[in-house]
Every structure is written in C-alpha cells, then in structure tokens.
Structure 1
Amino acid sequence: MTLLAERRALRWVTRQSRTLRFLPLTALVSDAVIIVLTMILAAIGHDLAPHTAHLANTDLLIAGPIIVVLWITVMGGFGAYQAEVFGAGADEYKRVLHGSLYSVSIVGVACYLAHFSLARGFFVLMFVIGVPTLLIGRRLIRHGVHLARIQGKLQERTVIAGSVSNVDDIADVLRRESWLGYRVVGALCPSSATETPGGIPIIGHDDLTTIHRVSGDADVVFLAGGTDFNSRDMRQLQWSLEQDATRLIVAPNVNDISSERVRVRPVGGLPLMHIDGPRWSHATQKAKRVFDVIGSLLLLTIFSPLMLAIALRIKLYDGGTVLFAQTRVGRNARTFSCLKFRTMVPNAEDLLAALHAQAGYTGGLFKMEDDPRITGPGRTLRKYSLDELPQLINVLRGEMSLVGPRPNLVHEVAQYEKHMTRRLRVRPGMTGLWQVSGRANLSWEEAIRLDLYYVDNWSMLQDINILIKTFRVITAGHGAY
C-alpha cells in the first residue's frame, strides 16, 4: 500500500485528541474553584457554629491563597494533573486523595511552627468538605469525557500492529469499551488482505518503517501479539514515535485481568509483568458473608412495606400464589430453591417447551422480550427487578450473595463448557457484573465472560460499586424483560 493510501485511510477521522490536551488544565481550574468554594463554606460553617470565635478576615486573606496554591501544588507533585491518569483507572483518585492528605499535614504543621492561629473548626471543615468534593469533581469530569467518547467525540485515532487474530482481539475490546476513546482506524499486519476478519482495514505491514510512516497521522499505536520486534527495535520505535507525539501502548496477550492482579517490576531494564492468581477464594471468606447478612437484613427492613404491597397486588390480580420457587444451581453445584415474586401465569412451566420451539432456543439463558406468560403486574415487577426482592431471604440463608453471578437453571448448567463451571466457585448473587452492563440485552457468551471476570477478579470494592450501579440500572429499567 502506498504512503498516500495509508494517510487517506487514517485521515477520515477528525483529530479530536487535541481537545484532550486541555483535560489537565480543566481539572486544575476545577480543583481551584472547588478549593476556594470549600474555604468559603468552611468559613461560614465555622462562624455559624455555637461557642466559636468569629474567623478573622485577615486570617482568611493571608492563609487562603497560600492553602489554595499549596493544595494544588502538592496534588500536582503527586501527579494528579498528568495526562495519563485521566479517563480510566483509580490512579487519578488516589493521587488527588494522597495529595490532599499531605496538604492537611503540611498546613497543620506549618500553622503550628509559625504560631499562626488558624481556627480549628475552619481547618477541619475545609478538608472534610474539600477532599470528597475534589474527588466528586474529578468523577464528574471523567463522566463527561466518557459520555463524549460514547457519542463518538474526543476520540484518539488508533493503529494496531500485530497478527490478524491479535489485532481483532484488541479491536473487539476497544470497540466494546467505547468510553476509552480509542477509534481503530487501521491495522498493520503480515497479511496481503485488505482488511482483517473483524473488518479493520489493513493499511500496511507490521514493520518499523511502516509504523513510523503512519505515526504522524495516528494518536496511538497499539502493539498487539504477533510482532517480531526485539528490544532494539522497540527502542527505535519509541524514538521514532516520540517525534510525532504518538503514544505507544504494548498490549500483552492477557485479557480480563483486573489491574489489582497485575504488577510490573523492572529487572535489569526488563519490565516483567507479574499476574496474581484468581481471587475467587476471597469471595468465599467471612467478610463477604458478614456484609451479605447485614446488607440483606437492612434491605429487608427497608423494603418490607413494598414487598407486602407487591404480595397483595399479585394475590388480588389472579388469586394465584405470591411467591415462585425455582430450583437453581448455587455454589459448588448445590441446588437450592430460588425465591421470586410470581410474575407469570400459574402454568408458565407447562408453556415453556412451546416457547422454546417458537423462539428457536438452542441453549444458554432463555429470555423472551414479549413473553406471553408474563402477567400485568409481572411486567412492572420485572422492569424494575422488584420480583427479585424475596431473594434477600436466600441471601440471609447463605444460599446466595448480594453480588455474584446469577444462579442458572439445572439444564443451563448442564450445557456449560468446562471453563464456565468457574461461575460455581462462588455464591450466586442477586445482582452481578452483567446485570449492570446490559442485563438481558447481552448475549449468553458476553454474560458468561463478565461473570468469569467477576469470579477471577473479585474485590469488596467491586461489590460495592456493582451495588451502586444496580440501583441506577434498576431505576432506568433498561434491558429487563
């Protein structure tokens, strides 16, 4: 392929990544405004508190600007304004938090040594309000960037170099996680074809000369598996990309591994990637069980009036049973009775075979968008997942967890491939990673992939995050039927 053709293939995407260069400045201005407003709120709060001396304006005028500059400078020293921390990962929040905590220490020690009488109430309020507000501000900026990227804005033009299969694997991930903002515009592969099986145009071969030619029109170059570059080639590639301000990302042949399990340790100039073992065993420890018991008791207390109202509505609708108990497969392949509010007609199980034939069901999770067996009240219950509330009793019994892979039917588990049985190493959950990632809109394969990711990369923080997202997904009512 000629140089002109390569450049035409890349330039169809507007170079929007230049806008991303203003992200650090946007964050800095946002942080400065938040800190100033926090100081004003802290001063007002201190003055309103009973039995406290009025905060002298001179004290605030002297200390205020110093604290603002110090706070931002310390966060900057921790790397809170480096471009690579924006967009994904927890590094940005960690750096803001660490910088803020160090600022607290510095201000406290400096006031003590300088004998500066900064009111303690003002000092405490400023940081108690300021630290979480700074984190929320960063989260809002990130959310705005993610929304823009999902809508096709703020994209970085990306070229992937490697074997055809590895290029498609990386492209699939980048396409699925559109909020990352990588728009794949071409592939460099050792192939004579015009595009990969996944539809990525092949614009050249994966050699140093070609990569250097296209780097001027690309924002990011991904090196996937399959390239034959040695350490000297990699060094030359970094030097050539440096001239065009093009970022180089090396994508190892490792998928669905959380960052908490990965450690990069340089040894003799050689970066070695250490991957910790799967964390499914941590999800079976007492801490998670205590969390489940406390959480289920609290939620049962909160939702008991609603559950009573739902039970009456179901009973008055057709006079049938309120609860529906279905045999499901739990941890270590043990079966249990999974409780739900009944949302279907009483003879729903008898109609299932005919619906399987009608829908062409061949295996996996059976979901039908316009299932004729669902009752009037059942549609509302399913839309907002209220039919799942009785499973809080299953959680209390120890048969389920608040968060985990959804429990499948016996015949669905019988169709598992060998790797899918890893789902059964933890307790099934009322909600899980696939529920907050698309619910019934996801394919069976994608749902299994997300469940296996959860099992292998479990953490309590991830559980809490899934629970928070669950409430947002349920209130929206998308992807449930």
Structure 2
Amino acid sequence: MSVPPLDSAMDRVLSQRDMRARRPPALGFLLRLDTARRFARIGSLLTVDFVAIFGAILTALVLKAYLRDHWNFPRSLGEARHSVAFAYLVAALLFARSGLYAERAARPGLTRIVGSLFQTMVVTVIFALVQGEHFSSYYIFYGTLFFAVAYVSGARYVYERVTGAALRAAGYQRRAVIVGTGKHIEAVGHALQDGPHPAISVVGFISLVPRPDNGLRSLGRLEDLDDIIAAHRLDEVIIADPDFPQREAVDLVAQCHQRGVRVRVAPSTMEILIHRAEFVPGQTVPLFELKPPVFDGIDFAVKRIFDVTVASLLLLVLSPVLAVSALLIRLTSRGPIVYRSIRPGIGGVPFACLKFRTMYRDADQQQMDLESLNEATGALFKIKDDPRMTPVGRVLRRFSLDELPQLLNVLRGEMSLVGPRPLPQRDFEHLEEWHKKRYLVLPGITGLWQVSGRSDLDFDDLVRLDFLYLERWSVFLDLTILVKTIPAVFTRRGSY
C-alpha cells in the first residue's frame, strides 16, 4: 500500500480547513503554520508600545522637573518606573480591544491609537482620584497623553515601515481575486495595485457578466470558485459590487470560509452612509433613517471648543512663522500681504477666506487666459507651474504656509480646523448638485483631502472623502487628521 507524501497530505488537510469550525488546541497549533509569526507580531507590538509609553511618561516628568527648576533625572526615572505598569496595562488592554494587535491587513491606524490613549488617560485619572491622590496640576496626565500620541504613533509608523520592507523583501503578498461586475472590478483592481509595493497581489477576477476588458486576468466563473481558490492559493476574495446578488454572496462566503479564505467587501456609498443610520421602531419592515450629516447640539459645541482652543495655541506657537512669511511677501512683491479670497462657506454663504498672497497682483485677471492649461479634474483649477506665482509664494504654497491666516477665520467662526476645503467661487460654479452636500458644515483648513493624496486625487474621489468625513466625524478623527497633516505638508505630497 502506497503512502501519500506528507506535504501533499498536509496541503489537503489545510485546503479543507473550515475557519468556522472548532479544533482541539494541539491540532490547531500544528495546523496553523503562522502561529509563531502571530506571537512574534503581538510580542513585538507590545514591546514597541511599552517603550513608547514609558518614554512618554519619562519625557513628561523630565519636562515638568526642568520647568520647575527641580532637574533630577534619576528621580524622574524612578517615578516613571513606578507609574508605567498600570498605564501600560490599561493601554495594552484598550489597544487589544481596538484591534491594534491584529494582523497587518486588519490593523487600524492613528484614530484608534489616539482614542485608546485618551481612554487610558481618563481611566488613570479616575483610578488616581479613587486612590486618594491629590494633584496641584493635571499636567502629568495630558502631558503624557501628548507625548504618548507622538511616540506610539511614531514608533508604530517605523514598525510598519520596517516590517513591511522585510515582508516585501521576502516576497510576501496576500493573493486575492476580485468578484463583481466590469466597472467595479476595474476600479477596485487598479486601486489595490497602486503604489510601488502593494500589499495585495490581485491574481485576477471573476465577473458576473460577460468578461470585461480591464487589464486583469479572468479566472473563470463564480461556479468554479472552489477550483480557483485551490489552483491559485488565494488568501482573500474581494467583493467589488454593491449590487452583488444576495444568494450568490451567501454561498461565496460559505465556500471561502470553508477553505480558510478571508472575504472582504469594497465599500459602496450606501455602506458608508449606514454608519449613521438610526433605527425607526414601530414599522412592519425594519427601517433605518439616514439623518443629515450636520454638526449641532453637543457635537457642535465640542467641535467649536476644540477649534478655538487649538487655533489659539497654533497662532501663539506659529507667530514667528507668520511674521517671517508676512515680511518676505512685503519685501519681494507689490500688493497686500493677506489675500481675501471670497469663497462659499457653510450653506453656500460667501465669506472672506484669508491667505498669504502667493501670486502677483493681476493673477485673477489672468486666470481666464490660463483655463486651457488646467491640470486638475472636475471643478478644480490647478496648474503645477503656475506662471502667476511669486518666488516666495511658491515656497509658501509648497509647504501650505499660505493657509495659516485661516486660523483667524476659525476664531471668527467662519471655518473649522478640519472639514471640507472651501473652494473658490469659480470652482463652486462648476460643481454638480451631489457635490454640494459638502457645504452642510463649516469648511476646514485641512481635511481628508490633505492627508490622502491631496492634489493627486480625482475630484470625485476628493468629494467622496469629504462625505466619508461627514459620516464618521469625531474629535479623535479631527485630531488624527491634524497630526497626519504635518507629514503630508513636509513630504509635499501632491501639493501645488
């Protein structure tokens, strides 16, 4: 009697593994060949977080001692050692709850980090007060939070880059097939393959309609999914069609989970909207109401307090930059230092959007002559090498320093720190009706545009980012966008 090779037998066991079924722990350990990698990932992330949190506590204590002229590093180090255990335990538990130790593809980003660290601060403050601690100042808590956000996010960014480079060097990519219809397959497929080192290798597609010409490889019919998974060793199946038939979707998910393959869905506009759907009881059919995405009541108060506080601090800290920029504009070209650009604001009501002048005085009169050189899509008007730009203005625009006077717009209640960017009147007149939903809230100095590719994105994609921001707004999201704006500005990604 012949005995099948061990490798082929193991492959057969793995290929028949149902990810929904429970298995004995010992067998699960043997069959899950990535167990060691999982432990290494969680252990390394826990270590990174511990070092970052300990560093944040130590930095806050050292800075406090220095400002009070009680500089004593050994004492600060001892206090940090005493404090770190509880803070780290709470942070690690909250990080785990937020999925921050999940596998690379499912691990969330800065928003969850900021939210979890803020919750850690609240828990530690409450614990300290319950323990009978008294504080003349709560600086140690919010100071540690500030440094923890910087250190943890920075350390995790480095971790992601280093481990990503190691995985790419090892040739690791998740193999995926896209299922859907023509235009959806093409859009999702090309988006996943953008960038020099995509994490997902799109093996091909399965179309529900006659084969589209999209530059990808057709792998067959949906009925052949089992064979396709086995033949191409797929890790993921991505559904890229908001109208995917329900019965086929249920069967597809069952087949994939039976073979240990992850199923993901590329979001549609309806899936984005459903995050703010509110159940309406008392109906024969379950109904969900999609409320208008406006900031009112407590949301508006929280956002306004956040805006005024942060804008005031930024004006104070950046006052030398503002002064130098104004002086350079005055010395190098004629015209006002600050340019008042009349733009539609909330509800389409116009306001004077303040900017440092970056162009020569007759720039507005020249725009009609330059329309044919427009390099942007949709309603936007952008020219990378705009001849109307002054030399100083080019530098200011490159690093977004020309936007700094808009901090005064924030204090005056005409703008928010984060929100949809206000468009010039010329661009506003070119908008389609569905674009104008972005004017339901105060415009912002920065937004998802600025941290998601900036001028490199298609205009419709930029508007969809505005919609995504409106549906999922939180103070943590605002703080995340502000933090991400800094590297976006300094890397000058798509800015002109």
The CA deviation at 1:407 is: 0.9
Within a 5 Å distance, the mapping from 1:102-251 to structure 2 comes to: 138=156, 140-144=158-162, 154-175=172-193, 181-193=199-211, 196-207=212-223, 210-216=224-230, 217-225=233-241, 227-228=244-245, 230=247, 234=250, 237=252, 240-242=255-257, 244-250=259-265
**DSSP-derived class of the 1:204 partner:** coil
Whether 1:31 aligns to 2:49 is: no
Deviation for aligned residue 1:25: 2.0
User: How far is the alpha carbon of 1:432 from its aligned partner?
Assistant: 1.3
Q: How far is the alpha carbon of 1:145 from its aligned partner?
A: 5.2
3-state DSSP of counterpart to 1:434: helix
The alpha carbon displacement at 1:38 in A equals 8.1
Change (3 A) 1:134 1:22: farther
Equivalent of 2:294, from 280, 283, 299? 280
Gap change, CA 1:420 and 1:159, over 3 Å in 2: same
Q: Is the 8 A contact 2:449 2:465 kept in 1?
A: yes
2:388 to 355, 364, 373: 373
Structure 2 vs 1, CA of residues 273 and 414 (structure 1 numbering), >3 Å: closer, same or farther? same
1: distance between equivalents of 2:93 and 2:342?
59
Once the two structures are superposed, residues 286-312 of structure 1 have per-residue CA deviations (whole angstroms, 9 ceiling, x without a partner) of: 221122222222222222222222222
Query: Conserved in 1, the CA contact under 8 Å of 2:56 and 2:148?
Result: no
* Mapped pair 1:414 → 2:440: no
**Aligned with 1:230: secondary structure?**
helix
When structure 1 is superposed on structure 2, of 324-333 and 142-151 the one drifting more is 142-151
User: 1:402 aligns to what SS in structure 2?
Assistant: strand
> In 1, are the aligned partners of 2:377 and 2:458 still within 8 Å (CA)?
no
Q: How far apart in 2 are the matches of 1:470 and 1:189?
A: 39
Change beyond 3 A, Cα 1:152–1:376? farther
Deviations 1:13-49 (A, max 9, x none): xxxxx98982542221442586599899999x99943
Q: Which amino acid aligns with 2:361?
A: P
Length-normalised TM-score, structure 2: 0.68
Report the CA distance between 1:245 and its aligned residue.
2.9
The answer to whether residue 113 in structure 2 is matched with residue 87 in structure 1 is no
Distance across 1 between alignment mates of 2:377 and 2:93: 60
Q: Which deviates more, 243-252 or 334-343?
A: 243-252
Shift of 1:159: 0.9
Written as runs of structure 1 = structure 2, the 5 A alignment for 1:461-480 is 461-480=476-495
Instruction: Give the aligned partner of residue 332 of structure 1.
Output: 347
Distance 1:444 1:80, change over 3 A: closer
Code of the aligned partner of 1:356: E
**1:7 is matched with which residue?**
none
Distance apart, 1:402 and its partner CA: 1.1
What pairs with 1:262-277 in structure 2 (closer than 5 Å)?
A: 277=291
Using the alignment, how far apart are the partners of 2:453 and 2:175 within structure 1?
27
Identity within the alignment, %: 29
> Corresponding residue for 1:447?
462
The verdict on how the C-alpha distance between 1:187 and 1:255 changes in structure 2, with shifts beyond 3 A counting, is: farther
Tell me the amino acid that sits aligned with residue 185 of structure 2.
V
- Which segments of 5 or more consecutive residues in structure 1 lack a partner in the other structure? 1-17, 113-123, 265-271
CA RMSD of aligned residues (A): 5.0
Counterpart of 1:206, as a letter, is L
- 8 Å Cα contact 1:32-1:72 kept in structure 2: no
CA offsets 1:390-416 (integer angstroms, 9 cap, x no match): 111111111111111111122321221
Give the 3-state SS of the residue equivalent to 2:417 in structure 1: strand
Residue number in structure 2 paired with 1:49: 75
